[in-house]
Amino acid sequence: MHTEEVGRLWEANARAWTMQVRAGYDVYRDTLNTPAFLDMLPPVRGLHGLDIGCGEGANTRQVARLGARMTAVDIAPTFVAHALEEEARAPLGIDYRAADALALPFADGSFDFATAFMSMMDVAQPGQAVAEAARVLRPGGFFQFSILHPCFVPPSRKNIRDETGQPVAVQVARYFDGIDGEIESWYFSAATEEERKAFGPFRIPRFHRTLGQWVDMIVAAGLILEKLGEPMANEELAAVEPHVADTRVAPIFLHMRTRKPA
Protein backbone atom coordinates (compact mmCIF):
# COMPACT_ATOMS: atom_id res chain seq x y z
CA MET A 1 0.00 0.00 0.00
CA HIS A 2 1.28 3.46 -0.94
CA THR A 3 1.34 6.41 1.44
CA GLU A 4 -1.34 8.21 -0.59
CA GLU A 5 -3.82 5.44 0.16
CA VAL A 6 -2.83 5.49 3.84
CA GLY A 7 -3.63 9.19 3.86
CA ARG A 8 -7.04 8.64 2.23
CA LEU A 9 -7.95 5.98 4.79
CA TRP A 10 -6.98 8.12 7.76
CA GLU A 11 -8.74 11.13 6.28
CA ALA A 12 -11.91 9.03 6.04
CA ASN A 13 -11.58 8.12 9.74
CA ALA A 14 -10.58 11.54 11.04
CA ARG A 15 -13.95 13.14 11.87
CA ALA A 16 -15.42 10.10 13.64
CA TRP A 17 -12.11 9.43 15.42
CA THR A 18 -11.91 13.00 16.72
CA MET A 19 -15.49 13.01 17.97
CA GLN A 20 -15.11 9.67 19.75
CA VAL A 21 -11.75 10.29 21.41
CA ARG A 22 -12.96 13.67 22.61
CA ALA A 23 -16.01 11.90 24.06
CA GLY A 24 -13.64 9.71 26.12
CA TYR A 25 -14.05 6.41 24.27
CA ASP A 26 -10.32 5.73 23.83
CA VAL A 27 -9.98 4.36 27.36
CA TYR A 28 -6.68 2.57 26.71
CA ARG A 29 -5.09 5.84 25.58
CA ASP A 30 -6.47 8.10 28.28
CA THR A 31 -6.09 5.86 31.33
CA LEU A 32 -2.95 3.86 30.56
CA ASN A 33 -1.02 4.37 27.35
CA THR A 34 -0.52 8.13 27.28
CA PRO A 35 0.15 8.49 31.04
CA ALA A 36 2.82 5.75 30.81
CA PHE A 37 4.37 7.41 27.74
CA LEU A 38 4.57 10.76 29.51
CA ASP A 39 6.06 9.14 32.61
CA MET A 40 8.85 7.73 30.43
CA LEU A 41 9.46 11.02 28.62
CA PRO A 42 12.63 12.91 29.63
CA PRO A 43 12.25 16.57 30.72
CA VAL A 44 11.18 18.67 27.74
CA ARG A 45 10.69 22.11 29.26
CA GLY A 46 12.23 24.73 27.01
CA LEU A 47 12.89 22.25 24.17
CA HIS A 48 11.54 22.30 20.61
CA GLY A 49 9.69 19.07 19.81
CA LEU A 50 8.01 17.46 16.83
CA ASP A 51 4.96 15.20 17.23
CA ILE A 52 4.64 12.84 14.24
CA GLY A 53 1.15 11.55 13.42
CA CYS A 54 -0.54 13.90 15.88
CA GLY A 55 -4.15 13.15 14.98
CA GLU A 56 -6.46 15.74 16.53
CA GLY A 57 -3.63 16.85 18.81
CA ALA A 58 -4.59 15.55 22.26
CA ASN A 59 -1.17 14.08 23.05
CA THR A 60 0.67 16.99 21.45
CA ARG A 61 -1.16 19.30 23.83
CA GLN A 62 -0.10 17.19 26.81
CA VAL A 63 3.58 17.48 25.81
CA ALA A 64 3.18 21.22 25.26
CA ARG A 65 1.77 21.55 28.78
CA LEU A 66 5.04 20.06 30.05
CA GLY A 67 6.77 23.20 28.76
CA ALA A 68 7.91 22.17 25.28
CA ARG A 69 7.51 24.32 22.17
CA MET A 70 5.69 21.92 19.84
CA THR A 71 5.32 21.43 16.12
CA ALA A 72 2.99 18.62 15.01
CA VAL A 73 2.19 16.91 11.73
CA ASP A 74 -0.44 14.49 10.45
CA ILE A 75 -1.17 13.05 7.04
CA ALA A 76 -4.94 13.68 7.33
CA PRO A 77 -5.97 17.32 6.79
CA THR A 78 -9.18 16.87 8.80
CA PHE A 79 -7.16 15.87 11.86
CA VAL A 80 -5.02 18.98 11.44
CA ALA A 81 -8.14 21.15 11.06
CA HIS A 82 -9.57 19.81 14.33
CA ALA A 83 -6.23 20.36 16.07
CA LEU A 84 -6.06 23.95 14.78
CA GLU A 85 -9.59 24.61 16.04
CA GLU A 86 -8.57 23.48 19.52
CA GLU A 87 -5.40 25.57 19.35
CA ALA A 88 -7.52 28.63 18.48
CA ARG A 89 -9.85 27.87 21.40
CA ALA A 90 -7.11 27.26 23.97
CA PRO A 91 -3.71 28.42 22.60
CA LEU A 92 -0.58 26.50 23.56
CA GLY A 93 1.64 27.83 20.79
CA ILE A 94 1.52 24.58 18.78
CA ASP A 95 2.31 24.74 15.05
CA TYR A 96 0.14 22.10 13.33
CA ARG A 97 0.79 21.12 9.70
CA ALA A 98 -0.46 18.52 7.23
CA ALA A 99 2.58 16.43 6.27
CA ASP A 100 3.68 12.87 5.56
CA ALA A 101 5.90 11.11 8.12
CA LEU A 102 7.87 9.67 5.19
CA ALA A 103 8.90 13.12 3.95
CA LEU A 104 8.96 15.56 6.85
CA PRO A 105 9.07 19.19 5.61
CA PHE A 106 11.87 20.25 7.97
CA ALA A 107 15.61 20.71 7.68
CA ASP A 108 18.10 18.31 9.23
CA GLY A 109 18.60 18.88 12.96
CA SER A 110 15.51 21.07 13.39
CA PHE A 111 14.26 19.62 16.68
CA ASP A 112 15.52 18.78 20.16
CA PHE A 113 13.21 15.77 20.36
CA ALA A 114 10.43 13.98 18.52
CA THR A 115 7.45 11.91 19.64
CA ALA A 116 5.03 9.60 17.88
CA PHE A 117 2.05 8.35 19.85
CA MET A 118 0.72 5.14 18.26
CA SER A 119 1.38 6.24 14.69
CA MET A 120 4.58 4.54 13.51
CA MET A 121 2.91 1.16 12.86
CA ASP A 122 0.36 2.93 10.62
CA VAL A 123 2.75 4.39 8.03
CA ALA A 124 3.47 2.71 4.73
CA GLN A 125 7.22 2.39 5.30
CA PRO A 126 7.96 2.46 9.04
CA GLY A 127 11.72 2.21 8.49
CA GLN A 128 11.70 5.36 6.40
CA ALA A 129 9.55 7.11 9.01
CA VAL A 130 12.09 6.25 11.73
CA ALA A 131 14.90 7.50 9.49
CA GLU A 132 13.03 10.77 8.86
CA ALA A 133 12.53 11.28 12.60
CA ALA A 134 16.25 10.72 13.12
CA ARG A 135 17.13 13.14 10.32
CA VAL A 136 15.24 16.09 11.81
CA LEU A 137 16.73 15.56 15.30
CA ARG A 138 19.70 17.58 16.41
CA PRO A 139 22.70 15.53 17.63
CA GLY A 140 21.96 14.34 21.15
CA GLY A 141 18.20 14.65 20.64
CA PHE A 142 15.77 11.82 21.39
CA PHE A 143 12.88 10.17 19.57
CA GLN A 144 10.28 8.40 21.72
CA PHE A 145 7.42 6.49 20.12
CA SER A 146 4.69 4.01 21.02
CA ILE A 147 3.31 1.19 18.90
CA LEU A 148 1.14 -1.87 19.31
CA HIS A 149 3.38 -4.45 20.95
CA PRO A 150 4.56 -6.58 18.02
CA CYS A 151 4.94 -9.70 20.18
CA PHE A 152 1.54 -9.61 21.86
CA VAL A 153 -0.58 -7.74 19.29
CA PRO A 154 0.47 -9.27 15.97
CA PRO A 155 -2.11 -9.44 13.16
CA SER A 156 -4.05 -12.10 15.10
CA ARG A 157 -4.80 -11.69 18.83
CA LYS A 158 -7.55 -13.10 21.02
CA ASN A 159 -8.17 -12.65 24.75
CA ILE A 160 -8.91 -15.87 26.65
CA ARG A 161 -11.36 -15.29 29.50
CA ASP A 162 -12.50 -17.36 32.44
CA GLU A 163 -16.11 -18.15 33.37
CA THR A 164 -16.48 -14.72 35.00
CA GLY A 165 -15.28 -12.90 31.90
CA GLN A 166 -11.89 -11.97 33.33
CA PRO A 167 -8.91 -12.14 30.91
CA VAL A 168 -6.54 -14.95 31.89
CA ALA A 169 -4.44 -15.53 28.75
CA VAL A 170 -3.77 -14.20 25.26
CA GLN A 171 -3.69 -16.20 22.04
CA VAL A 172 -1.47 -14.70 19.34
CA ALA A 173 -0.65 -15.76 15.80
CA ARG A 174 0.82 -14.47 12.52
CA TYR A 175 3.75 -12.83 14.32
CA PHE A 176 6.08 -13.31 11.36
CA ASP A 177 3.58 -12.09 8.76
CA GLY A 178 5.04 -8.88 7.39
CA ILE A 179 1.77 -7.21 6.49
CA ASP A 180 1.80 -4.00 4.48
CA GLY A 181 -1.49 -2.18 4.62
CA GLU A 182 -3.84 -4.92 5.74
CA ILE A 183 -7.11 -3.20 6.66
CA GLU A 184 -8.36 -3.76 10.20
CA SER A 185 -11.94 -2.85 11.08
CA TRP A 186 -12.79 -2.15 14.71
CA TYR A 187 -14.57 0.08 17.21
CA PHE A 188 -13.39 1.68 20.41
CA SER A 189 -14.40 -0.87 23.03
CA ALA A 190 -15.99 1.84 25.19
CA ALA A 191 -18.04 3.36 22.35
CA THR A 192 -21.80 3.21 22.80
CA GLU A 193 -24.00 1.19 20.49
CA GLU A 194 -25.45 4.45 19.20
CA GLU A 195 -21.99 5.74 18.29
CA ARG A 196 -21.14 2.49 16.55
CA LYS A 197 -24.31 2.64 14.47
CA ALA A 198 -23.81 6.32 13.67
CA PHE A 199 -20.21 6.13 12.48
CA GLY A 200 -19.55 2.49 11.63
CA PRO A 201 -16.17 0.84 12.27
CA PHE A 202 -12.80 2.46 11.77
CA ARG A 203 -10.89 1.04 8.80
CA ILE A 204 -7.21 1.26 9.67
CA PRO A 205 -4.20 0.20 7.53
CA ARG A 206 -1.70 -1.84 9.54
CA PHE A 207 2.01 -2.35 8.82
CA HIS A 208 3.13 -5.07 11.21
CA ARG A 209 6.84 -5.68 11.85
CA THR A 210 8.50 -8.05 14.32
CA LEU A 211 10.34 -6.74 17.37
CA GLY A 212 13.65 -7.61 15.72
CA GLN A 213 12.69 -5.63 12.64
CA TRP A 214 11.85 -2.58 14.75
CA VAL A 215 15.27 -2.77 16.40
CA ASP A 216 16.89 -3.10 12.97
CA MET A 217 15.05 0.02 11.77
CA ILE A 218 16.28 1.98 14.78
CA VAL A 219 19.88 0.87 14.22
CA ALA A 220 19.69 1.57 10.47
CA ALA A 221 18.55 5.13 11.24
CA GLY A 222 21.66 5.67 13.35
CA LEU A 223 19.75 5.85 16.62
CA ILE A 224 20.61 4.26 19.94
CA LEU A 225 17.89 2.35 21.78
CA GLU A 226 17.80 3.89 25.25
CA LYS A 227 14.69 2.62 27.04
CA LEU A 228 11.69 0.31 26.58
CA GLY A 229 8.30 0.51 28.28
CA GLU A 230 5.44 -2.01 28.40
CA PRO A 231 2.50 -0.37 30.18
CA MET A 232 0.43 -2.55 32.51
CA ALA A 233 -2.72 -1.50 34.35
CA ASN A 234 -2.45 -1.83 38.11
CA GLU A 235 -5.17 -3.62 40.08
CA GLU A 236 -6.97 -0.39 40.95
CA LEU A 237 -7.14 0.81 37.35
CA ALA A 238 -8.24 -2.61 36.08
CA ALA A 239 -11.06 -2.63 38.65
CA VAL A 240 -12.25 0.85 37.66
CA GLU A 241 -11.70 0.41 33.89
CA PRO A 242 -12.21 -3.29 33.00
CA HIS A 243 -11.42 -2.48 29.35
CA VAL A 244 -7.71 -2.32 30.20
CA ALA A 245 -7.56 -5.38 32.47
CA ASP A 246 -6.10 -7.52 29.68
CA THR A 247 -2.84 -5.55 29.91
CA ARG A 248 -2.25 -7.33 33.22
CA VAL A 249 -1.99 -10.61 31.25
CA ALA A 250 0.29 -9.38 28.45
CA PRO A 251 1.20 -5.89 27.22
CA ILE A 252 -0.68 -4.30 24.35
CA PHE A 253 1.66 -1.35 23.86
CA LEU A 254 5.41 -0.99 23.46
CA HIS A 255 7.21 2.30 24.13
CA MET A 256 10.70 2.90 22.75
CA ARG A 257 13.00 5.82 23.49
CA THR A 258 15.92 6.26 21.12
CA ARG A 259 18.65 8.87 20.94
CA LYS A 260 20.72 10.39 18.15
CA PRO A 261 24.42 10.26 19.03
CA ALA A 262 25.89 13.62 19.99
Q: Contact at 8 Å (CB) between 124 and 102?
A: yes
Mutual angle of helices 77-89 and 3-22, in 10-degree steps:
40
User: Is 119 inside any structural domain?
Assistant: yes
pLDDT at 190: 87
Count up the domains in the chain and report the number. 1
Q: Is residue 155 part of a domain?
A: no
| pLDDT for position 178 | 87
Residue 215 lies in a domain: yes
13 pLDDT more than 90? yes
CB atoms within 10 A of CB 205: 22
Query: Per-residue pLDDT for 189 more than 90?
Result: no
The per-residue pLDDT of the chain, averaged, comes to 96
pLDDT exceeding 90 applies to what percent of the chain? 93
For residue 80, tell me if it sits in a domain. yes
Domain of residue 85, residue span: 3-148+178-259
Residue 163 domain-assigned?
A: no
Report the CATH number that the domain containing residue 110 is assigned in CATH. 3.40.50.150
